[in-house]
Chains A and B, each alone.
Chain A
Amino acid sequence: MNTQTLQPRHQVFSPARVSAIASNTLLELIRQKVFYFLLIFALVLIGASFFMGFLRPELQFQVMKDVSLGAMSVFTWLLAVLATAMLLPKDIEERTLYTILAKPVPRFEYLLGKLLGVLLLLAISTVVMSGMFAATLYLKEQITIAGAIQESKLTDPAQIAEVVRNIKASTFSWSLVPGVIAIYLKAAIFAALTLLISTFASSWIFTIVVSVAVYLIGHLVPVAREYAESGGGAWFARDLCGLIARLFPDLQLFNLVDDIVAGNAIATGIFLQTVGLGCLYVAVYTWLAYLMFAKKEL
């Protein structure tokens, strides 16, 4: 056999290997039919858009955006946790990991590939959900405009234009995009965190439980920080809250959607800071996952 022709020189880091693992992970998740959750999201969208008829149009759009973006946030987070929690344990249990690491694949590349596969899945899901959301919003907008014109029996083009402008002002806005990016970042943080937990967890149920706990605690970090800095209450409660505020990610920082839906524009500086913080969390959790996984006995 001619070994010289087939074996390229080993590279310490190979984007091609990472990409092979990432695309395989994405394929695995797609073939597990994880995108079925989009159907539930579609039902939430329909519910939020067509069963609020008793509210004023502006309020209808606000509720619709609130509910839809909230659902998008929960679904992407849930997808990140559930999709990542089983990746590593399944590969170990079925010994597929042995065959991969027996090839010239460094452990860091394996982990990175797995994470990138999930991040790709989350990106596709976020884009599809955003598309569904934008399409539903547009449809609802058109129906509302037609209804408003019909009800008011306006004939003056200037008045019609005014009605249309008022309705459009409360529907789609480009300011929603930073909110959606923040939703994606939060899910990405949880994908990296879940990957980290799965490197030492004894079961995927433990991984999911810990990830859910971090999610809940992460949303309470501002409260814990405030309590720790208040100077009131028992010292151990203050210290505990201070520790929580330092150890857990502050997930409220990624809740840009609430402000956006309420009509407050997000300053570019704040948005960039949020993106930077999200990337930092992902990088730190991935590095910690590698440190745990590098010494793991398989």
Chain B
Amino acid sequence: MPDPAISIRNLTKVYPIPFKRERVTAVHDLTLSVEPGQVYGLLGPNGSGKSTTMKVLLGLVPASSGSTQIFGRDSALVASHEEVGYLPENPYFYKYLTGEETLRFYGKLCGLSGSALRDRARDLLKLVGLENAADRRLGGYSKGMLQRIGLAQALVQEPRLLVLDEPTAGVDPAGSREIRDLILEFKSRGMTILLCSHLLGQVQEICDRVGILHNGRLVREGALESLIAIENQTQLIFENASPDLLARFEAEAAACGARLVEKTKPHTTLERFFLEVTK
């Protein structure tokens, strides 16, 4: 059986408060596992411990207790980072570098060089739709472009795991959809993705499994469909059903002891509507 892409066991992270005896427990006894190829949504309100969990996983802060592993390797070991691509929330990168220079810089950090690096940078720029902005400095990039170059740098060494912290924060709906489509493409390629987001609709569209953190504790965890399904209710959607047919259904249901909870027309999403009118 292959190692989980992410394995977090009894992780606790406590931050001391400077000049005070108090301590803040950001993450409390967290245990979760993300299997290879899964898209996992880590949800929670601000201050719930999502970013701290990601930072421990990436070796940016040490765990107070417990363990974190990436594909079976201790994530505190630098070598384990070969398997990870990370996009932080609101990344700035180096404004004085162009898009291509940025990718080449991150590529060199991953041991790439020469024509392999050059080709990889060009492929990624094409993948994220920035080939026309390759020679522009990042200082002139829009928020959406910065997020896309951020995604490209995260992918530069072709990692098996992608950690994305609010990848669409501050991006307009069109840009947000582009990024979401890219994530879906990575998912279709079999990449494992850990996604932190406040946009629950987007998480619902993308993720296979979610965990909800609250006050540093994992309060719910499981497959998305099973978590959000209402077990004692069933939804039927008809097309071109006459009022007469619907009345017969309702009568039959009532005769069998079922209660009609809601009768409504399905809606499109505001996002789809917005994109249609601004196309």
> Is B36 an interface residue when CB atoms closer than 8 A count as contact?
no
Interface membership of A96, Cβ < 8 A: yes
- CB within 8 Å for A102 and B84 given contacts A6-B158, A24-B94, A28-B94: yes
Tell me the A249-298 residues at the B interface (CB within 8 Å): 295, 297-298
Known: A95-B90, A99-B93. A298 touches B60 (CB 8 A): yes
Q: Are B158 and A3 in contact (CB under 8 A)?
A: yes
Interfacial chain B residues near A98, Cβ < 8 Å = 55, 58, 60, 86, 88, 91
Residues of A within 8 A of B274 (CB): none
Q: Please measure, in the bound complex, the distance between the C-alpha atom of A17 and the C-alpha atom of B59, giving whole angstroms.
A: 18
Selected interface stretch from B2-10, B39-47, B105-113: B105-113
Task: Find out whether the CB atom of A28 lies under 8 angstroms from the CB atom of B96.
Answer: yes
| Complex interface bits, B83-127 against A, C-beta within 8 A gives 1, otherwise 0 | 011111111111011000000011011111100100010000000
Contacts from A to B (Cβ < 8 Å): 1-3, 5-8, 10-11, 14, 16-17, 20-21, 24, 27-28, 31-32, 94-96, 98-106, 295, 297-298
Across-interface contacts of B59 in A (CB, < 8 A): 101-102
A6-B116 in contact (CB<8A): yes
Contacts of A99 in B (CB 8 A): 86-88, 91, 93, 106, 150, 153-154
- Which chain A positions have C-beta within 8 A of B97? 24, 27
Q: List 16 A-B contacts (CB under 8 A).
A: A3-B158, A10-B79, A16-B111, A24-B97, A27-B97, A28-B94, A94-B91, A98-B55, A98-B60, A99-B87, A99-B91, A102-B163, A104-B81, A104-B82, A105-B78, A298-B55
With a CB–CB cut-off of 8 A, which chain B residues contact A11? 111
B105–A14 CB distance below 8 A: no
Given A7-B110, A298-B60: A96 touches B158 (CB 8 Å cut-off) = no
With A and B bound together, what is the CA distance between A102 and B81 in angstroms?
A: 6
- Complex CA gap A14/B113 in Å reads 13
Inter-chain contact B58/A102, CB cutoff 8 Å: yes
A21 to B, closest residue via Cβ: B109
Interface residues of B (CB under 8 A from A): 15, 55, 58-62, 78-79, 81-82, 84-94, 96-97, 105-106, 108-113, 116, 120, 150, 153-154, 157-158, 160, 163, 189, 191
Instruction: Report if A104-B79 is in contact (Cβ < 8 Å); known contacts: A6-B112, A11-B111, A297-B62.
Output: yes
Beta-carbon contact of B92 and A96 below 8 Å: yes
Told that A8-B111, A99-B150 touch, could you supply 8 new A-B pairs with CB distance under 8 A? A6-B110, A17-B109, A96-B91, A101-B58, A101-B60, A102-B81, A103-B157, A105-B81
Residues of chain A lying within 8 A (CB to CB) of residue B94: 24, 28, 96
In Å, the complex CA distance between A102 and B78 comes to 8
Q: Which residues of B contact A24 (CB under 8 A)?
A: 94, 97, 105
Which listed residue (B84, B85, B92) contacts A94, Cβ 8 A? B92
Please give, as numbers and ranges, the residues of chain A lying within 8 Å of B93 by CB-CB distance: 94, 96, 99
Q: How far is the CA of A50 from the CA of B89 in the complex (A)?
A: 56
Q: Which of B78, B92, B108, B163 contacts A106 (CB 8 A)?
A: B78
Q: Give the distance to chain B from A134, nearest Cβ to Cβ, in Å.
A: 32
Q: How far is the CB of B104 from chain A (nearest CB, A)?
A: 9
User: What's the minimum C-beta distance from B153 to chain A, rounded to whole angstroms?
Assistant: 6
| Closest Cβ–Cβ distance, residue B62 to chain A (whole Å) | 7
Report B84 CB to chain A, min CB distance, Å.
6
Inter-chain contacts of A16 with B (CB < 8 A): 108, 111, 113
